[in-house]
Structure 1
Amino acid sequence: MEKVFIVGVGMTKIGRFYEQSGRELFSQALWKAIEDAGGVKPRALVVGNMMSSTLMNQDSLGALLADYAGLRGIPAFKVEAACGSGGAALYAGYALVKSGVADVVAVGGLEKQTEATTPYVTRALAQAADADFEVFYGVTFTGLNAMIARLYMQLFGYSDEDLSYWPLKMHEYASYNPYAQLPRKTSMKEILDSPVIADPIRLFHAAPIGDGAAAVILVRGEEKAREIAKAAGRDTLIEVAGVGMATDSVDIASRNNLVVMEATAKAAQEALRMAGIGVKDVDYAEVHDAFHVTGYAALEDIGFAPKGEAPRLFKEGRFQKGDKPEVNFSGGLKARGHPVGATGVYQVAEAVMQLRGDFPGFKASSPETALTHNMGGVSTITVVSVLRRWK
């Protein structure tokens, strides 16, 4: 069966773009990806987005974005999987290409959040939780993660400072990333002095609200991928070697274990099995760190660290330059930014550029394999992809 390759990537900087509409941002990212793919145009479009109905008053998003980008007439649709919408869009786009339904597919992600007030966006984000059994009682998404963070700290004996090494490092990486929303270094003092949002989560422990769009171009077959790569002036191919998706209960009270993200573990196992590799073969990873505790839990539940050990290992220098895997050199959701429905596509685009060696920020050590981990809710819907570099 023909393999699937990513031949082009495009991103916008993440930020607050009051002067630009969502359709404008998305078109910029999509055409960057098309140009990066030597001008090849997609024959279908899959868009990851969570909140267009709520924050943009817009449904029919796929058709709207295809039309605005000058691609009217192609199949186009939106995929919604909360904060995992970008990863789910890749999963759907991969299926279209792998099955032969379409040989060139654009997978994009978009979120436009900053034109609404923070309380309104907070309410919209809470829709990733259980409406009847969680949101009804006033809990926020940050509040749910705060409960898990508190339990994690108590079970494994960590302090606020112990967990704060994650945002400290993410800001350092983001300071090199021209696409990052928060491209500046910070200090442990600034992190620990930042306001408490939901105890024990402070402002600097959480990803910011922002606007952004990203896109990648998928093609079917090595021959076509090499033809496109040659036209784009590259001799490197990036294969989508494996994809995995899994779900868990939406309400966290029904979970088997609050500090184990079972959907993450299952999705990672499926993606690695499809790629024919083990977790120790992954050279680089972009993991979903909407909060510091989710970054650590992702490392553990994917299999990069034993349960409860990730904060200690991270503090000691693991998962950084020269280690295996190197993790989140983009700055992660924490500092690169988290334009919800686009985040999973940003991760894939960044991983592709790390594999090609042309990421404009903090560079990985010439990786051959990369893994991306994108989840919606509190690991309610999780998508993991494995990418492989070909020469």
Structure 2
Amino acid sequence: MREVHIAGAAVHPFGKSRGKTAADLGYDAVTRLLTTTSIGPDLIDVGYCGSSYGGSLLAQRVLQRVGVSGQPVYTVENACASGASALHLAWQAVASGAADCAVAFGTENLSGFGGGALPLTTNDIEIELGLVMPAAYAMRAQRHLHDFGATEADLTMVSIKNRRNGAANPRAHFQAEVSADQVENSRPVADPLRLLHCCPNSDGAAAVLVCSSDLAREIGTPTVRIRASVVRSGRFHTSYRDMTWPDITARTAEAAYEMAGVRPSDLDLVELHDAFSIAELLHAEALGIAARGKAHRAIADGEFDRDGRVAVSPSGGLLSRGHPVGATGVVQVCETYWQLTGQAGRLQVPAASVGLTHVTGGGIYGVDNGACAVHILTSD
């Protein structure tokens, strides 16, 4: 397997883009990427697009507009892990030698759904009975708070931290800090979660250029190395489900650490799937950056702050940056790329050299999540 590098990143800022389709947003992000890296479309061997709601042949509809025509391109749907799964396939193509240069992007426009919870897969017994993602995470929160002594105030601290980080991110949906009173007085969604414990439905797109070492040197832009790219699906079972332990995250992360040859203690920053405030506690523990049941203490002690032991969601995470489903896994990598190349500006984590991105999602019967992707990037 060859070394694989990211030689460029670009984002269409997240927020509400009514009147723009997912293809429009993706076109903007990919165009910015090609401009940033100064490469022509003929150099791209293969393209991968991640999206859950963008419709069929979305990859073609975006890439043909930028001049990538005739090359193999693929649209990938893997729930919230769609964009990261697209990146994983791009990594596979370059690592195997099947391609020297690939574009991986994710794009989504969720404005058309209006407000409220996103629609989930049909013909699923739990969803047919009324399960929506806020309710699923509320159950996880209730159990975690019960078992480990955390409180709703600890959930609120996650929102405060990530909204504070996002306030400095020009690409974020929300660019304002919030107080504890604002969070705790926001309207109830699913006990104990309130509105500001939940990420917004956003529109947006993100793209990265994935290439071999030789081509990365030719392009000449700052690069980072993909040390690990791992995707896993949930294990099906109908027995007891531990709502406090995201097994899919733990398994995916373990495989990624082994592939990269690093440990959780080596990480300088983590962009994780904080779709709800409780998710940061659950996934931080499953990723091994906090002991089980202790993540709320790490947050309270400032260990996950931008200048703490390991910066968690220094870009603002989903809670502040937003969650256009197909784009989330790619924008996490964009943010990490800028961190590791010293281009993060006000978001910069001091001396960052190792970063991990994590995204998981897909509520279906019998598994804790449908798909999970973890990438580990380094500055060398």
The TM tier, using the shorter chain, reads over 0.9
Q: What secondary structure does 2:336 align onto?
A: helix
1:256 is displaced (CA, Å) by 4.3
Q: 1:219, CA displacement in angstroms? A: 0.4
Per the alignment, in what secondary structure is the counterpart of residue 118 of structure 1? coil
* Matched pairs, number: 373
Q: Contact 1:180/1:336 (CA < 8 Å) preserved in 2?
A: yes
- The answer to whether 1:185 aligns with 2:187 is no
Contact 1:106–1:217 under 8 Å retained in 2: yes
Q: 2:141 aligns with which of 131, 141, 149?
A: 149
Give the whole-Å Cα distance in 1 for the aligned partners of 2:64 and 2:236: 34
Q: 1:244 aligns with which of 225, 230, 236?
A: 230
Contact 1:49 1:340 in 2 (8 A): yes
- TM-score of the pair, normalised by structure 2: 0.94
Q: Percent identity?
A: 30
Whole-angstrom distance in 2 between the partners of 1:273 and 1:131: 37
Residue 299 of structure 1: which of 261, 272, 284 is its match?
284
Look up the equivalent residue of 2:268 and give its one-letter code: D
CA contact (8 A) 1:85 1:376 kept: no
The amino acid across from 2:340 in the alignment is L
Q: Secondary structure at the match of 1:51?
A: coil
Contact 1:249 1:255 in 2 (8 A): no
1:319 aligns with 2:304: yes
Q: Which runs of 5+ in 2 are unaligned?
A: 363-367
How far the C-alpha of 1:324 sits from its partner, in A, is 2.9
CA distance in 1, matches of 2:236, 2:90: 25
Aligned to 1:224: 215
Out of 331, 335, 345, the residue aligned to residue 316 of structure 2 is 331
Residue 309 of structure 1 and its aligned partner are, at CA, apart by: 0.4
TM-superposition CA deviations, 1:27-77 (whole Å, max 9, x none): 11112112222325322110111122xxxxx31112111122222222111
The CA distance in 1 between the partners of 2:197 and 2:118, in whole Å, is 19
CA gap of 1:337–1:361, structure 2 versus 1, over 3 A, is: farther
Contact preservation (8 Å) 2:2, 2:94 = no
**What is the Cα deviation at residue 133 of structure 1?**
2.0
Cα 1:66–1:237, aligned 2, differ >3 Å: closer, same or farther? closer
- The structure 2 residue matched to 1:387, chosen from 347, 364, 377, is 377
Q: What is the TM-score normalised by the length of structure 1?
A: 0.92
Matched residue, 2:162: 170
**Which sits farther off after the overlay, 58-67 or 80-89?**
58-67
Matched, 1:70 2:67: yes
Q: Does the 8 A contact of 2:25 with 2:108 survive in 1?
A: no
The equivalent of 2:295 in structure 1 is 310
Hey, what does 2:365 align to over in structure 1?
A: none
Q: Any conservation in 2 of the 1:174–1:329 contact (CA below 8 Å)? A: yes
Corresponding letter in the other structure for 1:28: D
Gaps of 5+ in 1: 53-57
Query: Helix, strand or coil for the counterpart of 2:219?
Result: helix
Taking the TM superposition and a 5 Å limit, the aligned residue runs for 1:100-139 are 100-119=97-116, 122-124=117-119, 126-127=120-121, 131-139=123-131
Q: 1:255 to 1:346 in 2, by over 3 A?
A: farther
**Is the CA contact (8 Å cut-off) linking 2:161 and 2:305 kept in structure 1?**
no
Contact 1:283 1:326 in 2 (8 A): yes
Q: Which residue of 2 aligns with 1:21?
A: 21
**1:184 match: secondary structure:** coil
Note closer, same or farther for the CA distance 1:131–1:143 as it changes in structure 2 (3 Å cut). farther
1:245-268 deviation line (CA, Å, top 9, x unaligned): 2222478x6564221111111111
CA shift, 1:2, in A, is 2.0
Alpha-carbon distance, 1:323 to partner: 2.5
What SS does the corresponding residue of 1:330 show, helix, strand or coil?
coil
**Partner of 1:55 in structure 2?**
none
- Match for 1:59: what amino acid? S
SS state of the match for residue 20, structure 2?
coil
The corresponding residue for 1:60 is: 57
Alignment partner, residue 373 of structure 1: 358
The residue type equivalent to 1:389 in the other structure is S
Q: Per-residue CA shift, 1:175-201, capped at 9, x if unaligned?
A: 100000000011000000001111111
Cα-to-partner distance string for 1:201-253 (whole Å, 9 max, x where unaligned)? 11000100110000000002x22211112xx4xxx4300011122222478x6
User: Which residue pairs with 1:159 in the alignment?
Assistant: 151
Partner secondary structure for residue 24 of structure 1: helix
8 Å CA contact 1:66–1:74 kept in 2: the answer is no
Match of 2:94 among 82, 97, 101: 97
1:248–1:255: 8 Å Cα contact kept in structure 2? no
Indicate whether 1:214 and 2:206 are aligned.
Answer: yes
TM-aligned CA distance change 1:361 to 1:339, over 3 Å: farther
Q: Secondary structure at the match of 1:134?
A: helix
